[in-house]
Amino acid sequence: MEYPDIEKTKQIVDVALKEDIGQGDVTTSALVPVDQQTSAVILAKESCRLAGLPVAELTFKNLDHGIIFTTLKNDCTDISPGPVAEIKGPAWSILTAERTALNFLQRLSGIATQTASFVEKVKQYGTEIYDTRKTTPTLRILERYAVRAGGGQNHRFDLSAQVLIKDNHLKIQDRFGPGSVVRSVQLARKHFPEHIIEVEIDDLQDVENALHAGADIILLDNMGPEKLKKAVSIVAGKAITEASGGVSLEMAESIAATGVNRISVGGLTHSFRSMDFSLEIKE
């Protein structure tokens, strides 16, 4: 699986370390000699889908290149409580980088774990689970990696990657007369002929309009299962169908059963529970 750009990840890690260290780790400076060596272990305190060990390693090594980081478990795998990595090196470096490294690890593993739960719910239907742009500012490349670690797929990375005509775009187009769906798709195709064009629809008549206009993906927003079935029937494989709109884990299977190609879930990256990890100095 493709890992996030290392240089961009280092930049994120650098900012995070500066935020946490501030003017210096006064506790460690007062209590730990600079030449003191030690070893530690990172422990998963609960079962989860592991994601972010390489980010944790970068965090320690970004602070001190002398740290030796040994992974005991692999990213993108399901793990039980127990050791996931061993660390050796200067004690002050390990203690100073500890919280930042764990913050990355617990957050990314939380996203991966939640994504894996959604993927498991819909796998019998062949439906794919997608994330959205509802990510933490500046952390998108890492959170999208965590979604992939959980078996999910990534939607457009940014506003330049794909045309996505949302309801607010259509409201603006409504000011210029009827037929906003068709007009919007045609305008997008004229200006960006090489881009994928997706349009958000909440009405069955507009599903037909989007098809007629040549949309590549039809985003079926906040439709119940019966309405989704009708929409999928209208599309009949002529475009990709995507369901969205406050999709919970409990709802995912019934949505997938309607035959939609994919489900986009903002909650993968904005409403997950971080997993519990700790770092313990060895005796």
| 134 classed as catalytic | yes
For residues 149 and 75, is the Cβ–Cβ distance under 8 A?
yes
Catalytic residue among 99, 123, 183, 189: 99
Catalytic residue among 64, 208, 221, 276: 221
The active-site residue out of 128, 200, 206, 242 is: 200
Q: Which residues contact 224 (CB under 8 A, 6 or more apart)?
A: none
61 tagged catalytic: no
- Name the residue among 183, 161, 2 with its Cα closest to residue 76: 2
Residues 6+ apart with CB under 8 A from 125: 253, 256, 257, 259
Measure Cα distances from 89 to 25, 29, 137 in Å.
Answer: 17, 16, 32
For residues 179 and 124, give the distance between their C-alpha atoms in angstroms, rounded to a whole number.
Answer: 38
Considering the candidates 10, 134, 156, 229, report the single residue annotated as catalytic: 134
Of the CA atoms within 13 Å of residue 16, those in its CB half-sphere come to 26
CB count within 10 Å of CB 197 equals 23
Active site residue 221: yes
5 part of the active site: no
Tell me the three state secondary structure of residue 52.
coil
Distances (CA, A) of 194 to 153, 190, 191: 21, 10, 9
Q: Which of 45, 166, 273, 282 is catalytic?
A: 166
Query: Annotated catalytic, 8?
Result: no
Quote the CA–CA distance of 69 and 183 in Å, as a whole number: 56
Q: How far, in Å, CA of 87 to CA of 52, rounded?
A: 15
For residue 275, give both structure tokens.
């997993």
Which residues are known to be catalytic?
99, 134, 166, 200, 221
